[in-house]
Structure 1
Amino acid sequence: MTENKGALADIRVIELGQLIAGPFCGQLLGDMGADVIKVEPPGAGDPMREWGHGDAKLWWEVVARNKRSVSANLRVPEGQEIVRLLAAHADILIENFRPGTLEKWGLGPEALHAINPRLIIVRVSGYGQTGPYSSRAGFGGIGEAMGGWRAIVGDPDRPPSRMGVSIGDSLAASYACMGALAALHARERTGRGQVVDSALYEAVLQVMESLVPEYVVSGHVRKRSGSVLEAIAPSNVYPCRDGEYLIGANQDAVFARLCAAMGAPALASDPRYATHRARGERQVELDERIAAWTATLTVDALEALMIEHGVPAGRIYGAKDMLNDPHFAAREALIEVDSPRWGTFQMQNAFPRLSDTTSAVRRLAPATVGEHNHEVYGELLGMTETQIRQLKAKGAA
């Protein structure tokens, strides 16, 4: 474990959540220095331990980094009492169970705040803690659908598509983290904790730009438009002789620079393309014209022209490209870790960057469920070895 210089080095987090949304919120806080104690059910633990793609299931190594693992069975009184004891020593508690579950276990906000009035309780759920849908089961994809994302993603002649990552969960977790940080700041004034309520569908709704007011004011309904944004041109992936390349030149001055790079500067003043609106009305036509030009060039040659003329553009990266890119290396966007189970491998670094209180990956994900039981229950809660063994024998830890 490396030295903790993070902005949240004096903050302790109890993470009760499983799968993606709750644990990703915990990952973000842990990367910023918080001591994150992850509470897992005895036995198999968090299902994320077995999630991932390919032969090696490595998602856990990312989402559980900077965390300590303890085991507690929240369905029995002894396990619930462990959470109460931990909450007394915590600043933030994260959960992403269906609303009402914590209350059923005697661990709702009222009960926890009676133990620790300064505790910030972060609750991530499909539909939020209130409202007629609050008791429904909700996963990220459902939030993406209800929040408006799925309806506008994909090709117009196909069913709605999804991203290749769990964006709904990640957005809800990111907003939950943002709420926790705001609540920490508010606690400095009030001395009190509060509840952060992050709903999956509302997190998605927050990034839907002007979708709702456009409909209300003008009746416009955004539709699926494939690889482009409707009426935003040129901004697309274009073919090259040896691959594909993304160009975004929809702003007037940038479009003029693209035209110069194409050897057709007069296009920038052509009434058909001279304004943002005109280019949007002729989006398909303009894309076809640009594609005919890019298809004559290699990716390297096109990139050189885009850099020379100051046109925002870039390659379509996969993992291999990231690992070989000098900019990723220079900024340490990827870091190398050495795992007893997996050996040496790379993962994304902590983000965002802070110039003084540095975020970092300080410790590997816990290898086993309850790996830190003796450390946390003994040192933090003052339990004896006998008490810890008794909890394990009862199936409570």
Structure 2
Amino acid sequence: MGAVLDGIKVLDLSRVLAGPWATMTLGDLGAEIWKIEQPGAGDDTRGWMPPSVEGISTYYLGANRNKKSLAVDIGRPEGREIIIELARKADILVENFRPASLRKFKLTYEDLKAINPRLIVCSISGYGRGHELEERPGYDFIIQAESGFMAITGERDGEPMRLGVAFIDLVTGMNAVQAVLAALYMRERTGEGQWLDIGLNDSALFLLANVASGYLNTGKEHGRYGNAHPSIAPYQIFACSDGRIAIAVGTEEQFRRFCRVIGLAHLSDDPRYATNRKRTEHRDTLLPLLEQHFASLSLPALLAELRAASVPAGEVRSVGQALTSDIAALRQSVVSVPAPTIGSFRSVRSPLRMSASPSREPTPPPAIGQHTDAVLAEHLGLGPEQIERLRSSGAIG
């Protein structure tokens, strides 16, 4: 059996991260992705470096496997006509244009629905569509600040901090995939496509999860706790004599086992620390005591003993250590395929593991316009002379 989205065609008019992350995931699931890029420049992330390999941005490489690149100038009438004809053939269209640009190019959902009623159109934007702020551009960093995430990230008395990756972009891409798959299922029942309005700000607020619930139901702000947890203790990083360890003790039984393993069994009998609530209330006395004790312990032996006792614990690793770890090897998390321009292309395997319809083996991210001629010939039936005429006019690159 093939990949679950074999035969599904995606017209990708998005760029940077949220949209390309969504279409890359659809490509992992077997869909054919037609990535439209401006001739010459291409996706913005092609220029985001360092780091790079053989002059190619690793940022671009990280979000664009399993795609076919077409260099089409959508600003030219002939270029727009190519987009229209591809939309007629596609099942899904993903875009992150501003609404004014969509109206200018006559690529609104209503325009596209008229030519392909079965088309599912996924619009990704910073703040959603259909209101006075729909034209405001959305950037992950800004929305991390605006959504409250930076206010709850960082040391208690330090500056608000962003997360180390553009996680709101990534989650928005994942939300887009969920919506697309649901729309495909609905189309099987109704025969019609629909419009999906996916916003970064919506994704960020939803991702606040228990923090949002806490504020909405108590009116209390969350604040910053560094690596600690506001509702669970001990739940943070401790420095051992030869490394750092992350501890997550969520139950009373785990706390008893934890205290026994580290050689402080008496703490579990102390009434100040008998329950999780009491431990969080008395964290100011508990945590300094633990920090002092951990400084004398060796990380490898401690980690082995905690895991043997089923106490949640892990070594604080670098990215390189994580990607070469035992669990990454067991799960075959890193995949490598030949790539003409860089020798081999390495990436992290899709986390979507399905027994009957495995993800597609990755193909390297394409060069700008690498598949223009092939896609136009196969799906629009254009011959060499027609393609050359379009290239001469500047409509394609």
TM-score, normalised by the number of residues in structure 1: 0.95
Check if 1:263 corresponds to 2:263.
Answer: yes
After TM superposition, list the pairs within 5 Å mapping 1:3-152 onto structure 2: 5-56=2-53, 57-152=57-152
Contact 1:5/1:358 (8 A) holds in 2 = yes
**Pairwise CA distance, 1:361:** 3.3
Contact 1:99/1:125 (8 A) holds in 2 = no
Contact 1:112/1:119 (8 A) holds in 2 = yes
SS at match of 2:273: coil
Q: Distance between the aligned counterparts of 1:326 and 1:5, measured in 2?
A: 29
Deviation readout 1:144-180 (Å, 9 max, x if unpaired): 2232212211123233110110111111111111100
Q: Distance between the aligned counterparts of 1:50 and 1:106, measured in 2?
A: 29
Superposition RMSD in Å = 1.6
Contact 1:252/1:274 (8 A) holds in 2 = yes
Tell me what 1:219 maps to: 219
Check if 1:394 corresponds to 2:389.
Answer: no
Q: Distance between the aligned counterparts of 1:336 and 1:293, measured in 2?
A: 43
User: Across the two proteins, how many residue pairs are aligned to each other?
Assistant: 393
Deviation readout 1:8-55 (Å, 9 max, x if unpaired): 112111100011111111111111111111011111211222324435
Check if 1:279 corresponds to 2:283.
Answer: no
Deviation readout 1:216-274 (Å, 9 max, x if unpaired): 43221111221112232111111011111111113222112111112233322321111
Q: Distance between the aligned counterparts of 1:15 and 1:271, measured in 2?
A: 60
After superposing the two structures, state which structure 1 stretch, 296-305 or 262-271, moved more. 262-271
Check if 1:251 corresponds to 2:251.
Answer: yes
Contact 1:267/1:273 (8 A) holds in 2 = yes
- Whichever residue aligns with residue 312 of structure 1, its letter is P
Q: Distance between the aligned counterparts of 2:218 and 2:320, measured in 1?
A: 45
**Pairwise CA distance, 1:340:** 2.1
Contact 1:350/1:361 (8 A) holds in 2 = no
Distance 1:252-1:100 versus aligned 2 partners, 3 A rule: farther
Q: Distance between the aligned counterparts of 1:71 and 1:9, measured in 2?
A: 24
SS at match of 1:42: coil
Q: Distance between the aligned counterparts of 1:241 and 1:343, measured in 2?
A: 41
Contact 2:345/2:364 (8 A) holds in 1 = no
- Whichever residue aligns with residue 139 of structure 2, its letter is F
Q: Distance between the aligned counterparts of 2:321 and 2:229, measured in 1?
A: 26
Q: Distance between the aligned counterparts of 1:298 and 1:211, measured in 2?
A: 35
**Pairwise CA distance, 1:345:** 5.2
Q: Distance between the aligned counterparts of 1:322 and 1:219, measured in 2?
A: 38
Tell me what 2:166 maps to: 166
Tell me what 2:208 maps to: 208
After superposing the two structures, state which structure 1 stretch, 12-21 or 337-346, moved more. 337-346
Q: Distance between the aligned counterparts of 1:121 and 1:157, measured in 2?
A: 45
Q: Distance between the aligned counterparts of 1:97 and 1:287, measured in 2?
A: 50
Contact 2:337/2:362 (8 A) holds in 1 = no
Tell me what 2:232 maps to: 232
Check if 1:381 corresponds to 2:380.
Answer: yes
- Whichever residue aligns with residue 17 of structure 1, its letter is S
Q: Distance between the aligned counterparts of 1:103 and 1:269, measured in 2?
A: 68
SS at match of 1:197: strand
Q: Unpaired runs of 5+ in structure 2?
A: none
Q: Distance between the aligned counterparts of 1:254 and 1:39, measured in 2?
A: 53
- Whichever residue aligns with residue 47 of structure 1, its letter is D
SS at match of 1:210: helix
Q: Distance between the aligned counterparts of 1:10 and 1:344, measured in 2?
A: 27
SS at match of 2:378: helix
Distance 1:184-1:339 versus aligned 2 partners, 3 A rule: same
- Whichever residue aligns with residue 237 of structure 2, its letter is V
Tell me what 2:322 maps to: 322
SS at match of 1:353: coil
- Whichever residue aligns with residue 209 of structure 1, its letter is A
Q: Distance between the aligned counterparts of 2:323 and 2:219, measured in 1?
A: 46
TM-score, normalised by the number of residues in structure 2: 0.95
SS at match of 1:63: coil
**Pairwise CA distance, 1:293:** 2.3
Deviation readout 1:110-136 (Å, 9 max, x if unpaired): 111111101100111000012221111
After superposing the two structures, state which structure 1 stretch, 211-220 or 344-353, moved more. 211-220
Tell me what 1:312 maps to: 312
Distance 1:361-1:143 versus aligned 2 partners, 3 A rule: farther
- Whichever residue aligns with residue 240 of structure 2, its letter is C
Distance 1:12-1:300 versus aligned 2 partners, 3 A rule: same
Contact 1:236/1:287 (8 A) holds in 2 = no
SS at match of 2:381: coil
